[in-house]
Amino acid sequence: MDKRKSYILTLAFLLAFSTVALSVLRETKLDAYISVFTIDYFIASAVFRPRRRTIDFVGIALFIAFTYIVALKVMEILIK
Amino acid sequence: MKNLKSIFLISLIIFTALIHLAFSLKFPRHVNPEEIPEESLLPEGLFAFYLNVIDLSTLKRYDEALEELRKTHLFYMPENLKFIASRFNDFLADATNKLNLIEYHIERAEEFINIAKLEAAKTEVNEASSLLSETEKTILNLESSASQLAYDLKVKPKPLLDKVVELKALIKTYAKKIDDLSKLIEELTPSPEKSLVKPKLTIQASTLKVWVGERLIINGFLKAFDKGLAKKVIHVYFEGVKIGEALTDENGAYSIEVQIPYIYKPFATIFSVFKPSKEEVYSPCFSNTLTLKLLYYEPKLFISSFPSALPGMNLTIYGNLSLLDKPIEDWKVELYAFNESLFTFTNKSGSFKFEVPIPSTISIGAWPAVINIPPKGKIAPTLKFLTINVEKIQVKINVEASTIAFSGSKITFKCLISLEGIENLTANKHYEAWLQHETIENLMVNAKVGEWKSIMQKINGNPFNIEVYVPLTALTGDYIYEVSIKPSKSWISSASTKGSIFILSPLTLTMPILTVFAAILTVKKPKPKERRAESPKEIVKKVFHKPTEGLAALYWNAVHMIFNWIGVEMKDSYTIREYLHAVSGKLMKGFIFFRQLSLAYEKLLYARWIPLKELEKAKSAYVKLQSLYEKHKEEKE
């Protein structure tokens, strides 16, 4: 199996597993889901290094969302 | 495709089985302790408690107030209120304690004045004065703390601030009393400037048992060196207050008829004082102190037991006033409760009745009240402290809801409301009449699941349903639901009930399946390049139409032919020899021809030249291979 296929399948299984795991743990916050999906995406990308034709727009979007969520949490702690 | 379907179905079954198993388990989640809502009787209970304590203080029942304040350490206090509540508590305890001490020092000062110990009295007055200035500061702090406490308890600060104003008024009365005592002590203190003759002053009374308001003859002597001092002014003091003055005769004797003030206490002191003018050689002097037994009537006040009060309703309090077992008629009776002052008069049988309006906004709890019988002539005042328990009719709400629901749907709560403890109230005559028809109507019902709310005005009907729409965006998880009711009547309490409901989100259920399925489909689908390579017709057409294009065209035509023949694909990553190796076991007789063609093509690609003989051989090998393929196709057909 080539690298691209392995990457797609691994990412799909990671996302599916994360969703099921978070649901089973009764996680109701969307930010938790987005954070875990971001981590899944970057892990799969780092391991398989798929060839890209353009800039990784998905990765950038997920990273911005993740930074925003973390910033909110940090602010929450600091303001308290 | 057939395989794909079966894989998908098997995966779906396994996934469903596993997810069902997983959701049935409840993994303990970490809960942030700061996010757990704290439950307590606050804020109403705490607010009512402090109002009651201040009431006790303004009634000068300091010991009881301090005793109540000591109970606060037993209270459960939420973390966010601990600081402000303990601050308010400390200020209130401090103020109450100081007021108690002021009262004590003033009493002591009066006692010392009565026995002519002016220095000791002065010390007591000074002590009371310094405590008073400290108390004023404490009250100011208490006032700001009261506003903060009310803000934190999310209640209106006005009732608490009103009580603080009452405390301020109490301080003013103490200040006046201290001022009066200071003036009196100053008046009575002899000037230490010159050495003076100290005369001797005596006092006697016609009787030591006297009715209040009646006249009493006081007499005595003022002597110096056993000789009576004539034409000297003698001041007579009753309980530290001047009630008259008399002039001594040539023998130094004085006599005066005074009216006993209407002071209703068992014993009172009386003494006389000689205050010489500055020119005289005598020093001021006190007489001996006479203790009089004061006679007066003490009426008997009886208050019938009364039920708990309901906010917004009237509470009827019955009582009776008698003197020596005979009713007192047309006598004024005052009642002080809930910052209101009421009065009424006794009837022929000495009975009286108060209709006390209970404020609708009042907190539940024990509220102090006072019934006061003002004095009149020889009849002493009577005071009775009451405690009015303010309660609300408790409402209970039972909610039935399914334990599991899907997001994107409406959740229905079946609610049943019942009144609790109404039997106790209906058993009482006061409320029997109207509680018989008491119904639970016009309630504001509020249902909340997670962050989604639903509000409805319930007009009638019990049980009833209320629905809350949970949008599709709600993720899978346990959600807390709360159904609360707020009655329009102030005497009925609010009630709420909480529970947990598991909401399954179709998104989180389908998302894993769809993701994996989409991934499998993507993987199975060939790349665009591969798709192009898979369209052999076009290539074949080119080759067949242009067979003279060279060995390269023959080779690739042969590759395509072999792919159709034995199904071995020439991948982009394969070299000519790798592909030759891949087909070696499967091509059988045709392999030798394909080998000749492949090696010739390889040589054409990489060598500087190729023998014509070899080129011809390769071409004939292609023809032979082609004939073998045609033969194979015919057999297959």
- Of the listed ranges B95-99, B139-143, B234-238, B441-445, the one predicted with least confidence: B441-445
Instruction: Please determine, for residue B330, whether its predicted confidence score (pLDDT) is greater than 80.
Output: yes
User: What pLDDT, on the 0 to 100 scale, is given for residue B391?
Assistant: 82
Q: Which residues of B touch A (CB under 8 A)?
A: 18-19, 22-23, 25-27, 29, 450, 473-479, 502, 505, 508-509, 511-513, 515-516, 518-520, 522-523
Please give the share of chain B, as a percent, with pLDDT higher than 90: 7
Kindly identify which residue of chain B lies nearest to residue A31, measuring between CA atoms: B475
Q: Where are the alpha helices (DSSP H) in B469-611?
A: 506-524, 528-533, 536-545, 551-566, 576-583, 590-606
Yes or no, beta carbons of A24 and B475 under 8 Å apart? no
- Distance, in Å, from the CA atom of A24 to the CA atom of A2, rounded to the nearest integer, reads 33
User: What pLDDT, on the 0 to 100 scale, is given for residue B14?
Assistant: 78
| Closest CA–CA distance from residue A52 to any residue of chain B (Å) | 14
pLDDT digits (tens, 9 = 90+) for A6-49: 899 999 999 988 988 888 888 888 889 999 999 999 999 999 98
**pLDDT band, residue B604 (cuts 50/70/90):** confident
pLDDT digits (tens, 9 = 90+) for B181-199: 888 888 777 666 556 778 8
pLDDT digits (tens, 9 = 90+) for B40-83: 555 566 777 788 888 888 888 888 888 888 877 777 777 777 78
| Closest CA–CA distance from residue B519 to any residue of chain A (Å) | 6
Yes or no, beta carbons of B22 and A27 under 8 Å apart? no
Among B116, B125, B103, smallest CA distance to B188 is for B116
- Distance, in Å, from the CA atom of B614 to the CA atom of B620, rounded to the nearest integer, reads 10
Yes or no, beta carbons of A23 and B508 under 8 Å apart? yes
pLDDT digits (tens, 9 = 90+) for B156-170: 778 788 888 888 888
User: What pLDDT, on the 0 to 100 scale, is given for residue B533?
Assistant: 58
User: What pLDDT, on the 0 to 100 scale, is given for residue A37?
Assistant: 93
Instruction: Please determine, for residue B548, whether its predicted confidence score (pLDDT) is greater than 60.
Output: no
- Of the listed ranges B28-42, B120-134, B243-257, the one predicted with least confidence: B28-42
> What is the per-residue DSSP string for A2-31?
-HHHHHHHHHHHHHHHHHHHHHHTT---HH
pLDDT digits (tens, 9 = 90+) for B414-456: 988 877 766 656 555 556 555 555 566 677 888 998 888 888 8
Which residue type does A72 have?
A: L
Max CA-CA distance within chain B?
178
Instruction: Please determine, for residue B540, whether its predicted confidence score (pLDDT) is greater than 60.
Output: no
Mean pLDDT, rounded, for B31-37: 65
Yes or no, beta carbons of A16 and B508 under 8 Å apart? no
**Between B281 and B497, where is the model more confident?**
B497
Instruction: Please determine, for residue A59, whether its predicted confidence score (pLDDT) is greater than 70.
Output: yes
User: What pLDDT, on the 0 to 100 scale, is given for residue B81?
Assistant: 76
Under DSSP, the state recorded for B282 is: B
**pLDDT band, residue B313 (cuts 50/70/90):** confident
Yes or no, beta carbons of B513 and A16 under 8 Å apart? yes
User: What pLDDT, on the 0 to 100 scale, is given for residue B542?
Assistant: 47
- Distance, in Å, from the CA atom of A25 to the CA atom of B505, rounded to the nearest integer, reads 13
Kindly identify which residue of chain A lies nearest to residue B505, measuring between CA atoms: A23
**pLDDT band, residue A5 (cuts 50/70/90):** confident
User: What pLDDT, on the 0 to 100 scale, is given for residue B546?
Assistant: 46
User: What pLDDT, on the 0 to 100 scale, is given for residue A74?
Assistant: 92
- Distance, in Å, from the CA atom of B365 to the CA atom of B280, rounded to the nearest integer, reads 66
- Rounded to the nearest integer, the mean pLDDT of chain B is 82
User: What pLDDT, on the 0 to 100 scale, is given for residue B570?
Assistant: 87
Q: Which of A12, A17, A26 sits opposite B477 (nearest CB)?
A: A26
